[in-house]
């Protein structure tokens, strides 16, 4: 594969490093062009990899010509989009024009309903991309959308649960929580893209139900306590707008899909405050002195880059999919997860665990695509593919997964069986 990574921030850097550190297993990557608007960042990542396969380039993700020229220059046959989703449409369309396969970690953006934003879904995440499915299919091209960790790995887990763990599925609930801390840091800390955090936390969260379809709620709605594995424990999670809710019901037969995330109370207040005074605004230009800027773009420049805080952050983050349904006539409840330790990730990849987790899924998927194991034309999410080869490779790439059998009739049956087995 001759891969162009657009964006050398946390996810771009981690992707390159995971490929590099995979050694022989990563040799499917014949060439990796690491690009960024900030050439120095791209150069830094290429140098970190210290391998002639990795080269740095400057790119302007807003400019189709800039992307096309890199694709042509390096004879690229796959583009991984690792920039903020506001650039998605341009990159997605440019890949189509160039006849190159495409992948992103977050789908094209939603637009809230003009009259009932906290009730009705309007333009949903990925609508722009799925509307072009047939064009891509006819062209014999693959676009794999929502392919990070959440969305991405979480969708693979849902498909795995459907394939191996359940006869019928009731709910697919993606749950994300952490116990991150930055000792001595008193400022605001974002774990990943500030732009994206604002986007997904302040947009009306979307929920899917079989009878209602997609609908929206108030931000931070339906709080619940979820018990995370890996020593993280009980965390209050709340509804957040996320791609899995749009992707999973397209492929997996179930009754309800949600995404909930452990946004600390302090962060919720901060985000709501930003929204109240319009600092979250990504569209309106504000005149300050002689200059005009978009408040959110300005915030991204002012707030400490998550990469800068990565070395100081301690703790673990857990991403996973909680599936409920029936198995052998019994109610079953299972949480499939991956826990990453920040300090370990920083030592290995030079990035924080949130973005490293986001990057390992795409790397596995890229290998599967390169080897023809995952091969579908058109626009697809990760749940459209066989989950087994992905699950098999998680540990190999340094991100082993786990499965927690939660309280249920089925769990009780398993527990009883274990007791008897111990006796024997």
Partner 1 sequence: MANKKKILILGVGAQGSTVAKFMDGEDTVSEIVCADNDEKAVNYLVDNLKKGSGKLVDANSTDSIVKAAEGVDLIVNALPAQFGFNVFDAAIAVKANYQDFTAPDVPGIDWVESIKKMYTKTGERFRAIDRTALIATGSAPGLINVAARDAMRYLDSCETIYMLVYEGVKAKRFLPFWWSVETAYTDMVDDAYCYENGEILVTEPFSRPVYEKFKHIDEEIKLIEHAHDEPVIMGINADEFFRGAKNIYFKYGGFGVEFAETLYKMGMLSREPVEVDGCKIVPLNLAIKLTPPAPKYREEIQEIIDEGLESDTGAMVIKAYGEKDGEKVLVETYVDAPGFVDSFEKSGLTAEMYLTGQGGALFTKMFADDRIDQKGLISSDMLTMEQVDYYLKHAAKLDITLDTEVRKI
According to the binding rule CB under 8 A, does residue 276 interact with partner 1?
Answer: yes
Among 123, 131, 188, 225, binds partner 1 (CB under 8 A): 188
Stretch that binds partner 1, among 69-77, 295-303, 326-334, 364-372 (CB under 8 A): 295-303
Pairing state between β 286-288 and 206-209: unpaired
304 sits near partner 1 (criterion: CB under 8 A): yes
Binding mask 242-271 for partner 1 (x = CB under 8 A): ---------------------------xx-
Minimum CB distance to partner 1, residue 11 (Å): 22
Q: How far is the CB of 193 from partner 1 (least distance, A)?
A: 15
Nearest distance from C-beta of residue 39 to partner 1, angstroms: 16
Cβ closest to partner 1, residue 90 vs residue 324: 90
> Three-state SS for 291?
strand
Q: Which of 9, 126, 191, 295 binds partner 1 (CB under 8 A)?
A: 295
Q: Kindly give, in sequence order, each residue whose CB lies less than 8 Å from that of residue 331, ignoring residues fewer than 6 positions away.
A: 324, 325, 408, 409, 410
Residue 255 burial (CB < 10 Å; 0-12/13-18/19+)? Answer: middle
**What's the rounded Cα separation, in Å, for the pair 54 and 20?**
9
In whole angstroms, the minimum distance from the beta carbon of 30 to partner 1 comes to: 36
Q: Which of 120, 303, 307, 411 binds partner 1 (CB under 8 A)?
A: 303
- The footprint of partner 1 on residues 46-75 (CB under 8 A) is none
Q: Is 293 in the site for partner 1 (CB under 8 A)?
A: yes
CA distances from 390 to 107, 147, 310, 374 (A): 21, 12, 27, 10
279 makes contact with partner 1 (CB under 8 A): yes
Instruction: Between 213 and 278, name the residue whose CB sits nearer to partner 1.
Output: 278
Exactly one of 211, 265, 283, 292 binds partner 1 (CB under 8 A); that residue is 292
Q: Tell the smallest beta-carbon distance from residue 283 to partner 1 (Å).
A: 14
Q: How far is CA 66 from the centre of its chain?
A: 25
CA neighbor of 206 nearest in space, from 174, 168, 237, 242: 242
Among 183, 184, 289, 372, the residue binding partner 1 under the rule CB under 8 A is 289
Number of residues binding to partner 1, judged by CB under 8 A: 26
Got the DSSP string for 187-244?
S---SS-HHHHHHHHHSPPEEEETTTEEEE--TT-S-EEEEETTTTEEEEEEE---TH
Nearer to partner 1, 55 or 272 (CB): 272
Q: Which is nearer to partner 1, 87 or 226 (CB)?
A: 87
Of 50, 52, 115, 186, which one interacts with partner 1 (CB under 8 A)? Answer: 186
Question: Does residue 174 sit in helix, strand or coil?
Answer: strand
Q: In what order do the strands lie in the sheet with 2-6?
A: 54-58, 31-36, 2-6, 78-81, 101-104, 142-144, 378-380
Count how many residues are written for the chain. 424
């Amino acid at each position: 594969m001759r891969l162009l990574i657009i964006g050398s921030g946390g996810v771009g850097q981690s992707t390159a490093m995971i490929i590099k550190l995979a050694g022989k297993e990563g040799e499917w990557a014949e060439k990796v062009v690491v690009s960024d608007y900030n050439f120095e960042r791209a150069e830094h990542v290429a140098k970190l990899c210290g391998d002639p396969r990795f080269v740095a380039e400057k790119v302007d993700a807003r400019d189709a010509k800039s992307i096309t020229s890199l694709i042509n220059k390096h004879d690229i046959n796959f583009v991984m989009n690792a920039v903020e989703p506001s650039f998605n449409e341009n990159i997605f369309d440019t890949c189509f024009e160039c006849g190159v396969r495409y992948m992103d970690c977050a789908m094209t953006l939603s637009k809230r309903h003009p009259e009932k934003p906290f009730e009705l879904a309007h333009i949903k995440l990925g609508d722009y991309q799925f509307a072009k499915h047939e064009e891509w299919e006819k062209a014999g091209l693959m676009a794999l959308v929502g392919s990070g960790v959440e969305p991405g790995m979480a969708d693979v887990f849902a498909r795995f649960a459907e394939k191996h763990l359940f006869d019928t599925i009731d709910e697919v609930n993606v749950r994300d929580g952490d116990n991150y801390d930055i000792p001595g840091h008193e400022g605001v800390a974002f774990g990943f893209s500030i732009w994206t955090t604002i986007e997904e936390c302040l947009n009306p969260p979307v929920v899917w139900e079989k009878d209602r379809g997609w609908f929206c709620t108030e931000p931070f709605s339906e709080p619940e306590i979820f018990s995370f594995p890996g020593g993280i424990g009980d965390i209050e999670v709340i509804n957040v707008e996320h791609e899995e809710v749009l992707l999973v019901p397209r492929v997996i037969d179930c009754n309800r899909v949600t995404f909930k995330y452990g946004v600390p109370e302090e962060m919720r207040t901060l985000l709501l405050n930003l929204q109240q005074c319009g600092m979250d605004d990504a569209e309106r230009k504000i005149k300050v002195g002689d200059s005009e800027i978009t408040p959110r773009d300005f915030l991204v420049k002012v707030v400490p880059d998550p990469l800068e805080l990565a070395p100081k952050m301690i703790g673990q983050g857990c991403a996973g999919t909680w599936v409920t349904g029936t198995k052998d006539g019994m109610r079953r409840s299972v949480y499939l997860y991956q826990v990453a330790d920040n300090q370990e990730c920083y030592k290995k990849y030079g990035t924080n665990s949130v973005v490293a987790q986001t990057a390992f899924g795409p790397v596995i998927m890229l290998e599967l695509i390169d080897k023809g194991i995952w091969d579908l034309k058109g626009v697809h999410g990760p749940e459209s593919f066989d989950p087994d080869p992905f699950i098999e490779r998680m540990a190999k790439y340094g991100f082993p997964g786990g499965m927690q059998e939660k309280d249920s009739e089925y769990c009780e049956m398993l527990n009883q069986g274990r007791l008897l087995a111990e006796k024997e």
